[in-house]
Structure 1
Amino acid sequence: MSRLELYSPEGLRVDGRRWNELRRFDCKINTHPAFDGSSYVEQGNSKVICMVRGPMEPPMRSQVNQTQAVIEMNLNIASFSTLQRRKRSKNDKRMIEMKTTLERTFEQSVMSHLYPRTLIEVNVQVLAQDGAVLATMTNAITLALIDAGVAMYDYVSAVSVGIHDQTPLLDLNVLEENDMSCLTIGVVGKSEKLAMLLLEDKMPLDKLENALAVAIAGGHRIRDLMDDEVRSHGNQRVSKLTS
C-alpha cells in the first residue's frame, strides 16, 4: 500500500483510527489455572497467551543463581499466526532478538532478589500477529507474572509508535508497521521511565522525542486497562471467598 492510503488527508488511518488512538485492547488473567499465573491479551488482531511457572526450584544446577531468581523465556509463534503460515524455529534471528529483549526487560522489572536460587519459567504463545507483537507479548507477560504473585516494581505496559511523514501514529497494525519507521517501548507504571525501548528502523532524531511522548501516553492508557482487569479479577475472587 502507498503511504497516502495508510494515513488519509482527513487524518484517518486504514482502520479508521486517529493518530493517537489505541486499537481494541482486551485482556484476561488466570486463563489457565493449572499454571501459577496465566493471561490472554488481544491488542488489535494480535493475540497472545502467556503461562508462568514459579518461582520454583530449578531442575538443573546450572540455572541456580545464589542472589536472585533466573527468568527463563520460552517463545512459540504459531505457524498459522500470519497469512504466510511460516513456522519460526527457536534459532530464528527474530525469535532470539525478541527473547533477549523480553528477558532483559523483566530481569529489571521483577524484584528477583526476593527469590534467590529459584527459576521463573515464562511460556509465551503467539496465536495471531497483526503488528506490535512484542508489545502484546510484554503486556501478556506482565499480567501473567502479576497473576502468579511475582513481585514487580510496577506494571510494564508496552505499545508501538511509528512516524508517517511528520505525524506519529500510535499502536501500529501490520500494514503500518511494514511501511514506516517504528519503535516499541515498555513504560514502568504511570511514570516516564522505560523498561524497554526497541527501535526497529532508522528514525529522525528530531521526531524521536515527539514519538516517545505519544507512546508513553499510550502506555499509560494500556496500564490502566490492565489494572482494571487485575482489580476486577481480585474482586471476583474475594466475593467467592466471602459468599
Structure 2
Amino acid sequence: MSSVSPYPLPSSSSPAAAVYARRDGRTALELRGKEMRLSDVTAFDGSSWYAQGQTAVMVSIHGPAIARNEEYAMCNVHVRVQHAHSLAPAAGGAEKALYEERKLGLLTRTDALALASLLESTLNAVFIRERFPRCVLVVDVVVMQDDGSLPAVALNAVMCALLDAGLPCRTTMAAVCVAVVTRGGEADAVDSSRGAAQDRLFSGGSSSAGGVCEYLLDPTSAEESLGAAYMSSAPSAGEKAAVAGAGSITTSSAASTTLLDRSAAQQVHDQYRCVSTGVFVFSNPGCGGGLLAQLVRCVGSGSVAMPELGVSVQAYAEMMALAERASAVLFEFFRQCNVAE
C-alpha cells in the first residue's frame, strides 16, 4: 500500500467526526498495492498487465497500421473493452445461466458503458496521432478482475502499454479514483444548492446537517456500492433452505450465524453510503502537469446515477486535489518500473 504523498496529509480534523473503517485495513488516503508486467503478450506491438489490489486489467496494442479502406489525416484510435468473465463457457446448463447473469450485469454498469469512451478520448489527448497519418491504432482492453476503481486502473494500464510499444506521447499520465461517502442523512456536499463545506481543503470529513462527508482514495467495489439497494443483501436460495430446515441443530446454527453476519453487514450499509465517485487523469509534472480528463459520477442513494444530484464545488475541489497528490505516487511507481520519463 502507498500513501498519497511523501508528506503526510491529515485524515481527519475533527476528533468527534467518525472515520469510515476500511475493510482492507487502509486509511482513507492510501492506495492499494500495485503490480505491473510488460511485454507478456509478444504477438502484439505493446502489452501490459496492471493491477491495483484485486482490480486487474490487461492491455494489448496493435499498430499503428495502414488503414485499408479509409484515409485519415491523423491516426485513428479505436479502443475495444472486454471483460474476461464475458467469455462464453464451453458447457451449458448452470454455467451458461451464470454466464448470462454476469453478462447482463456487466452491460448495465455505468462505468463499464463509459469506460471505452473515456479511454479513447484520453488516448487522443496523450498519443501524438499527427505522426501517423492514414493509420489505425487498435487498443484491446481486457478487464481480468474488477474490485473497484476500474477506469483508473484501465487508464494506467493503457499508459504502460503505450510506453511498452514505444509510441510517441505528449506526456505520461496517471489516473486516480476518489469516492465520497457520507454517514447519516443527506450531506451538504452532495447537494450544490445547500451551504458550502468547511474551508479546510483536507478536512477528512466535511460536517453537515445529519451526516459527515469523507473521501476514500482508490475505493474498492464494496466501497463504491455502499448504500446500495437491499437487492444486494437479499438472502440467497441456500440461506432460505437453511432457515426452512431449522429442525436440524447444525443447520439452524449455521443459518443463525449467517443471518447475524448479514445483519451486521447491513448496519454498515445503513450508516454509510457512497454518493459520488470521480476518476481524475493527470499529466506528468515534468511535462507541465495539469488535469487531462475526468469522469465524476453521482450515485445518489444507490448504484443508479441521479441526474438531479451533484457534488458541491468544495467537495469536487477536495476530490481533485486529493487525486492530484496521489498521482505523484503513481508517477514514482512508473519511474521505478522504467516506464515513465
Report the TM-score, using the length of structure 1 for normalisation: 0.83
Q: Which moved more, 1:74-83 or 1:222-231?
A: 74-83
Shift of 1:204: 2.4
Q: Which moved more, 1:221-230 or 1:125-134?
A: 221-230
Q: Which residue of the partner structure matches residue 319 of structure 2?
A: 211
Q: Deviations over 1:27-66 (max 9, x none)?
A: 11111111100000011100110000111112332xx312
Q: Which residue of the partner structure matches residue 136 of structure 1?
A: 153
Q: CA RMSD in A?
A: 2.8
Distance 1:89 1:77 in 2: 11
Q: Which residue of the partner structure matches residue 247 of structure 2?
A: none
| Change in 2 beyond 3 A, CA 1:230/1:89 | farther
| Change in 2 beyond 3 A, CA 1:100/1:178 | same
| CA contact 1:29–1:230 (8 Å) conserved in 2 | no
Q: SS of the counterpart of 2:22?
A: coil
Q: Which residue of the partner structure matches residue 31 of structure 2?
A: 22
Q: Which residue of the partner structure matches residue 78 of structure 1?
A: 84
Distance 1:43 1:168 in 2: 18
Matches within 5 A, 1:28-67: 28-61=37-70, 64-66=71-73
| Change in 2 beyond 3 A, CA 1:100/1:217 | same
Gaps of 5+ in 2: 1-16, 88-97, 182-211, 227-273, 299-309
Report the TM-score, using the length of structure 2 for normalisation: 0.60
Larger radius of gyration: 2
Is 1:166 aligned with 2:213? yes
Shift of 1:133: 0.6
Pairs aligned (count): 223
Distance 2:64 2:162 in 1: 10
| Change in 2 beyond 3 A, CA 1:72/1:200 | same
Q: SS of the counterpart of 1:200?
A: strand
Gaps of 5+ in 1: 1-7, 233-243
Q: Which residue of the partner structure matches residue 295 of structure 2?
A: 198
Shift of 1:80: 6.7
Distance 2:147 2:294 in 1: 20
